[in-house]
Amino acid sequence: MDRSHRVVVAIASVVFAVLAYLSAGGLRRAVPPTSPPGSSASGLAGGSERDNRVLGEIDLARLFPDLVLRQGDVAAKNVALTFDDGPDKQYTPQILDVLARKGVRATFFLIGNRLAESPEVVRRILAEGHAVGNHTYSHPNITTFTAQDIERELRTADREMSRFGARVTGMFRPPYGAVGVSSVEPLARAGYSLCLWTVDSLDWRGLTREQVINNVLPLVANGSVILFHSAGGPGEDLSGTVGALPVVIDDLRAKGFKFVTLPEMFPRL
């Protein structure tokens, strides 16, 4: 087989693999960033959470097993509750009320430019022993950002959290779960861990209490990281999350699960 023939075969193989991947639903449609670094969080409405991932969380974990934190020790009956997009003055306090009543500590991935809008909520998150992570400063879709622009977003959010006395842990969860493959290793070199999840409640869709429960409980296993939201965009309804949370906690506790924060689940954080 001559060189030109080998090239054609190689290209055909790549095209076939990509088409197979697409038909299996592995690759989701990427969209341009919702806002440039430093702009306001404008992409928080529930519908914007859809179809923004170049690669899903499972694919990222397979490609970067040493850089992505997605599931804890499967030999330990631990589970981590995580909440994105906060803080706000509507839903985050209600979620904190449930967690306080149930004696559960969770992990909140906060948006930097929202902290000043709800300073008392930020202080409450920290005072009640919850862990906090970085969800960027302005909640853009970073899939086409340069590594430098992504780091600028994260460093700016870190500074905002530090103003409230939060310990900067390097925990980073990308908005929409969307991150370009080329960005993962630069993020790691900058000291950030890509914190994903194993169970997605899909609560950003404005689901009912029962729908949220049904999206979570059947999928929880040892080491699960559960994705919820503690805030959203204008008009986004997270009452289903607030209603489902006590049921999820009681059910998992009855099954012997222990609730931990992400730094507790992943000691390297």
The answer to whether 52 and 31 are in contact (CB under 8 A) is: yes
Question: Any bridge partners for residue 107, and if so which?
Answer: 82, 131
Q: Give φ, ψ of 95 to 5 degrees.
A: -65, -40
Q: What is the C-alpha separation between 162 and 15, in angstroms, rounded?
A: 47
Q: What is the C-alpha separation between 161 and 110, in angstroms, rounded?
A: 8
What is the gyration radius of the CA atoms in the chain, in angstroms? 19
Q: Which two tokens stand for residue 246?
A: 């006590």
Q: Which two tokens stand for residue 219?
A: 């999928």
Q: What is the C-alpha separation between 58 and 9, in angstroms, rounded?
A: 29
Question: Any bridge partners for residue 38, and if so which?
Answer: none
84 catalytic per annotation: yes
Q: Which two tokens stand for residue 223?
A: 């080491």
229 catalytic per annotation: yes
In the chain, the amino acid numbered 236 is E
Alpha helices in 128-171, H assignment, sequence order: 147-163
Select which of 130, 135, 139, 229 is catalytic.
229
Select which of 84, 85, 200, 203 is catalytic.
84
What positions carry a catalytic annotation? Answer: 84, 229
